[in-house]
Structure 1
């Protein structure tokens, strides 16, 4: 059912007032702030209709009304006037360090938190597990140290426990084969190519290479923090999220486990532009009182991750949306030119 312009104006005024002070909004207050020349009785009738349609609800303790998740959704989709934020002024407040991807990402999370006063979150780019060089060092019988050097010169070590006791010559032969044929490729590519070539290699040498590729891929994946979060403590100042121990526990479970957060950010990376997930409406947000505003970011024109702000449903969306949007653009620029 479509809302007429009066109902839209009243809902917009109610949501804005509730976001500002967190108190249920009564008909008398709405008649003053909406700018509509309507009698209190008419306003009450419209509010009753909005309640029946599921856009507002009445707390038991008050004659006023508050927005529901459905009301917030209509507000952010059609009634919101987004503030203009100047990209240059945001950039001048907090600089993103060039040429240091991990520091850039941490700074972006901090920037989101500082500007919004909520929690900032960045899903790090899925790093291709490319290796430049591999070495095998025999530690003892059936124990080998796998040494991986990536294109930036970073070194990863992995202990391999093998079924066969390889001698030093076999280890050198295996490392040379991998380095000469696959250096500069990702472990996923090596796995695909190697499977076709293993038939030509001795079984136990082939097994060693397969083990090395699996272990190398896992080592590179583990080396990257999947989600960077800044400013979780800011949410302790949001009474809507910390009103009871159950809410508090849910909130910190989200940050501690990160799997739900990863899923949410992964979903939003497949969309373009700013996405708003409102708790109570989105199955991905674990709390009714929580919202997440996200945007994907790019590296050289390719979407590689997502960032966002986590805060109470009662947040100033008109401020948070441009903060997320501009930070995504700044991070894209910093990573692409870094």
Structure 2
């Protein structure tokens, strides 16, 4: 394409994102600032349509961008503004305060909610993969042969599990078991503890061995229960998007995607391999069953290591520059919140 065609395509995409209406040659002439006749603009638009970059809806003489047109716009015509988390846009004021690092899971839920609220679309966040390691363990007597196991991970996350023991234990016995386990096993991976127990169980007092084995099983159960680490917020926002709010068949597929989560997890895990913000437009992701939908995602780091991904899912007709900035800043703030020493 020549510069004239690129300029008209850029203007058409920007107008359509702003107004949501097919863009006609007269509007394009005024908005582009180019001294071109209506006939010339119509010829250029015909060329852009032949290239598959714009399309003409049946009900209008104007044109709208195709997924391919959006892709070209995002890749070559969008000027990304530098992100400074210390000087966030006005609408993001207070976000840092809302991402309180009291518990990792709460930060993740807050981040998904913020992304949804600020974008008016769907916010998605994958939680950091939990290390199968416990930092601290504690046993509390709940009643006869019922014990509460409290497992604290290195990142401060707390898991509680109730176990049933073969015999009743006094609280002093549970304190003794707690001290022994934390002294000898804290910081080890659950699998490593399990392997060591196989060899050391005979040397341990019977009640400590039984409690240790129960704790290992509780830790395994806790990890299995949290294997699905994806938080989705704001799905109902898509019902109000004019581009596809009336297409119930596709919306049903989309809500199935949010409910099942497996395919979406796979997509976001692939996004974590990207350097910075990644954008999927239309069917590019191979996951979202919708041509009129885009995903803007970015990985986030904790202590210099990528541990998860977050993003916004919305219509292809979205303000990409704003979504890129929103996702980028939120990724950095989440990483900072989770990196705060516990």
Query: TM-score scaled by structure 1?
Result: 0.80
Question: 2:284 maps to which residue?
Answer: 281
* Mapped partners of 1:155, 1:328: distance in 2: 25
CA contact (8 A) 2:149 2:161 kept: yes
* Mapped partners of 2:257, 2:131: distance in 1: 27
Deviation at 1:129, TM superposition (A): 2.5
Deviation at 1:68, TM superposition (A): 1.1
Distance 1:272 1:158, change over 3 A: farther
1:62 and 2:60 correspond: yes
Alpha-carbon displacement from aligned partner over 1:184-204 (angstroms, at most 9, x marks no partner):
2222xxx257558847878xx
Structure 2 residue matching 1:280: 3-state secondary structure: helix
Alpha-carbon displacement from aligned partner over 1:230-269 (angstroms, at most 9, x marks no partner):
2223222211131221122122222222222211211111
- Taking the TM superposition and a 5 Å limit, the aligned residue runs for 1:149-228 are 149-151=151-153, 152=156, 154-157=158-161, 181-187=184-190, 191=191, 195=195, 198=198, 213=216, 216-223=219-226, 226-228=229-231
Question: 1:19 maps to which residue?
Answer: 17
Question: 1:253 maps to which residue?
Answer: 256
Structure 2 residue matching 1:20: 3-state secondary structure: helix
Question: 2:101 maps to which residue?
Answer: 99
1:125 and 2:123 correspond: no
Deviation at 1:49, TM superposition (A): 1.9
Q: Is there any run of 5+ residues in structure 1 with no aligned partner, and where?
A: none
Deviation at 1:285, TM superposition (A): 2.2
Deviation at 1:314, TM superposition (A): 0.6
Q: Structure 1 stretch 236-245 or stretch 270-279: which is displaced more?
A: 236-245
CA contact (8 A) 1:295 1:324 kept: yes
Deviation at 1:221, TM superposition (A): 4.0
Q: Is there any run of 5+ residues in structure 2 with no aligned partner, and where?
A: none
Alpha-carbon displacement from aligned partner over 1:269-309 (angstroms, at most 9, x marks no partner):
11110011112222122211111111111111111111111
CA contact (8 A) 1:146 1:212 kept: no
Distance 1:175 1:337, change over 3 A: closer
Query: TM-score scaled by structure 2?
Result: 0.79
Structure 2 residue matching 1:229: 3-state secondary structure: strand
* Mapped partners of 2:304, 2:74: distance in 1: 28
Alpha-carbon displacement from aligned partner over 1:35-93 (angstroms, at most 9, x marks no partner):
22222222222222222222112222222221111111111111113456763345533
Question: 2:235 maps to which residue?
Answer: 232
Distance 1:311 1:153, change over 3 A: closer
Structure 1 residue matching 2:309: 3-state secondary structure: strand
Give the root-mean-square deviation of aligned CA atoms: 3.5
* Mapped partners of 1:337, 1:159: distance in 2: 32
Distance 1:332 1:103, change over 3 A: same
Q: Structure 1 stretch 257-266 or stretch 89-98: which is displaced more?
A: 89-98
